[in-house]
Structure 1
Amino acid sequence: MARNKHPEETVARILDVAMRLFVERGYEQTSMQNIIDELGGLTKGAVYHHFSSKDDIFLAAMDRVMAPGVERLRRIRDAEGMTGREKIQAMFDSGARGMDSAFFSQADPELDPMRNPRMLATEYRDLFAVSAHELMMPVIEQGVEDGTIQTEYPRELAEAIALLNNLWCVPAFFPARDEGEQARRVAFMNAFMKGMGLDIVLDPQVSLETWRRRCGGRPADEGAQPLG
C-alpha cells in the first residue's frame, strides 16, 4: 500500500464529512459505514488508521469546532501590555458569542447538549483542563500580581467561573426558562465575580441574544426580573 504523504488532509476530509453527517442526521443515526460511504473512495482501512471508532471521530470533530475560540483566548492570555483584569474582560467579550450560533443553529436537535450526553461530556472534559487551568488561572494570577484582581484563591476562582460561565450561563447546556431568568443569571455572575475580587462585566444583551437563538425567544416571566 502506498504511503499517505498528506495524512493531515485525510484527517480533515474525514472530519469534514463526519461533522456534516452529524449535523444533518444526528450522532446516533450516523454510522462509521455512512461516513466511509460519503468519503468517495477512501477505504475503511484508511479511516480506521486514523480513528478507531465513531466516538473518536466525534471528539476530534468537536475539538476542531472549538479550536478557533480556544486559540483566540490563548492569544489574549499571552498578550503584552494588558492587566490581568483587562485580559479576563477580553476573554469574556471574545467568548460571549462562541460557537453557539455558528454550530448549533445548523445542527440536528440530537446534538443539543441537553439531549446528547456526548456533548456535555465533551464540554466537561475540557472545562477544567483548558478553560480554567490553561486559560483563566494564569490570567487571574497575573491580575493578583499586578493588583487588578483581589483573591487568595486563583485556582478555585478560575474553576468556579469556568463551571458557571461555560455550563450554567450557556443556554446550550442549561437553558433558562425565560429571558428574565437568563438575565438574573448574568446579573448573579457579575455580582459573584465582583464579590470574589474580579470586577468585570458580562454583557446581558449578548447573553439574551444567545438565549433567544437557542430557546425561541419566549417572553420573560414577569416574576423573574433581573437583579439590581
Structure 2
Amino acid sequence: MRPCRGYIPLVCLFWREGRRSPMARNKYPEETVRRILDVAEELFMTRGYERTTMADIVGGLGGLTKGAVYHHFKSKDEVFEAVFERANRPVVERSDAIVADPSLTGLEKLRALDEASASGPSAEMWAAMRPSADPVKSARILAREYQDVLETAHAYVEPAIREGVEDGSIRCEHPRETAEVLLVIANLWMVPLFNPVASEEEFAARVEVFLKVAQALGIDLVDWESIDPSRVIRDAWAPFSGQGEQDTSEASGAGEETAGGAREMQPGVGGGNR
C-alpha cells in the first residue's frame, strides 16, 4: 500500500492512535480473538461496517458459537475498534520509539510521527469499512474517536511540542491545548468520513486551513521542500472519492465523486520554510 507523504499521514496516525488498556486487550484467549478479528476485518473490508452484522461475523467463524463471540466483544462497535487497534500496533510501537529518541528535535519528532503513520491503518482501510457519517448512528465510534484523539495528543504530540519549544524548533505558547486542537481538527473536522466533502478541491481547502491554523499556533508541520503538495492531496483524497456512491441511508449528505483537481498549495501557506 502506497504510504502518504507530507501532512496527510498525520491524519492516518491520529485516527486510531489512542491506546487501550493492556488488560482489556490481553484477558481474552489470543487465538479466539485473532479468529474473530480476522473474519470481522474481511467482512468490514468487503461489505462495509454498516452492512456487516454480528450474525455475519459469527457465521464466518466455522463453529464458534454466538455466546463465545459475545464473551469477547459485546457489540459490533467493540469489534470494529479492536480491528483497528490490532492494525495500528506497529504505529504505536514506532511512535513510542520516536517520542523517546533523544537525537530528534521536537519538530523532527512531529514529522517522524507523520512518517510512522504510514505503517498503520490506512485511509483506504478506513474508507472501505465506511462507518456511517451520521453522528447519531456512529455516536459510540465518534465518542471513542474523540477520547482517542485526546489520549494521543497528551501521549505523543504534547511532549513533542514541549521539546520543540525547549530546543527552539517550535514556537508555541500553549503546548497541551495546541496538541488537542490540532488533533481534533485533523481527526474529526478534516476527515471526510466524519464530515463529508463533495470534491478533492474542498478537501484540499480543509488541508490548507488546517496547516494555516498549525502555523498560527507556531508549528510548521510540512517540509515544503521535500513534498509535492498536489500529489499529497490527490493520494490522501483517493480513498474517499467514492463517498457519493454509498447508500444514502449510511451517511446523510455524503459527498459525490468529482473530477475536481486539488488547489495548488504554495510554500509558506500553513507550513512555510524558516
TM range (shorter): 0.7 to 0.9
Distance in structure 2 (CA, Å) of the matches to 1:98 and 1:215:
21
Match of 1:218 among 258, 261, 266: 258
Residue 251 of structure 2 is matched in structure 1 by: none
Task: Please identify the structure whose Cα radius of gyration is greater.
Answer: 1
Instruction: Supply the AA of the counterpart residue of 1:124.
Output: Y
What is the CA-CA distance between 1:142 and the residue it aligns to?
Answer: 1.2
Distance in structure 1 (CA, Å) of the matches to 2:88 and 2:58:
24
Match of 2:52 among 30, 46, 65: 30
Higher alpha-carbon deviation: 37-46 or 152-161: 37-46
Residue 71 of structure 2 is matched in structure 1 by: 49
Aligned runs of 1:128-147 on 2, under 5 Å? Answer: 128-130=150-152, 132-147=153-168
Residue 126 of structure 1 is matched in structure 2 by: 148
Q: Does 1:182 align with 2:199?
A: no
Would the aligned equivalents of 1:96 and 1:206 in 2 still touch at CA under 8 Å? no
What is the CA-CA distance between 1:40 and the residue it aligns to?
Answer: 1.5
Aligned runs of 1:61-80 on 2, under 5 Å? Answer: 61-80=83-102
Distance in structure 1 (CA, Å) of the matches to 2:196 and 2:92:
23
Distance in structure 1 (CA, Å) of the matches to 2:120 and 2:209:
21
Instruction: Supply the AA of the counterpart residue of 1:154.
Output: P
Gaps of 5+ in 1: 1-5
Structure 1 consecutive aligned stretches of length 4 or more whose deviation exceeds 4 Å? 224-228
Distance in structure 2 (CA, Å) of the matches to 1:75 and 1:106:
30
**Percent identity between the two aligned chains:** 42
Higher alpha-carbon deviation: 15-24 or 42-51: 42-51
SS of aligned partner of 2:192: coil
Alignment RMSD (CA, Å): 3.0
What is the CA-CA distance between 1:169 and the residue it aligns to?
Answer: 2.8
Q: Tell me: CA distance 1:185–1:29, structure 2 relative to 1, closer, same or farther (3 Å).
A: closer
Instruction: Supply the AA of the counterpart residue of 1:120.
Output: L
Aligned runs of 1:102-181 on 2, under 5 Å? Answer: 102-104=124-126, 106-107=128-129, 111-115=130-134, 117=138, 119-130=141-152, 132-181=153-202
Distance in structure 2 (CA, Å) of the matches to 1:145 and 1:12:
43
Gaps of 5+ in 2: 1-27, 243-256, 270-274
Distance in structure 1 (CA, Å) of the matches to 2:56 and 2:76:
10
Q: Normalising to structure 2: TM-score of the pair? A: 0.67
Deviations 1:155-200 (A, max 9, x none): 0000111011223333333344333333333233332222211123
Higher alpha-carbon deviation: 85-94 or 42-51: 42-51
Q: Does 1:39 align with 2:65?
A: no
Instruction: Supply the AA of the counterpart residue of 1:46.
Output: A
Matched positions, count:
218
What is the CA-CA distance between 1:98 and the residue it aligns to?
Answer: 5.8
Distance in structure 1 (CA, Å) of the matches to 2:49 and 2:175:
38
Q: Tell me: CA distance 1:170–1:97, structure 2 relative to 1, closer, same or farther (3 Å).
A: farther
Distance in structure 2 (CA, Å) of the matches to 1:50 and 1:213:
31
Structure with a larger share of its residues in helix: 1
Q: Tell me: CA distance 1:160–1:96, structure 2 relative to 1, closer, same or farther (3 Å).
A: farther
Q: Tell me: CA distance 1:211–1:183, structure 2 relative to 1, closer, same or farther (3 Å).
A: same
Q: Normalising to structure 1: TM-score of the pair? A: 0.79
Higher RCO (C-alpha 8 Å, min separation 6) = 2
What is the CA-CA distance between 1:113 and the residue it aligns to?
Answer: 4.5
Instruction: Supply the AA of the counterpart residue of 1:170.
Output: V
Distance in structure 2 (CA, Å) of the matches to 1:184 and 1:27:
28
Higher alpha-carbon deviation: 206-215 or 150-159: 206-215
Residue 3 of structure 1 is matched in structure 2 by: none
Deviations 1:20-39 (A, max 9, x none): 22333344443333322221
What is the CA-CA distance between 1:8 and the residue it aligns to?
Answer: 0.8
What is the CA-CA distance between 1:105 and the residue it aligns to?
Answer: 5.3
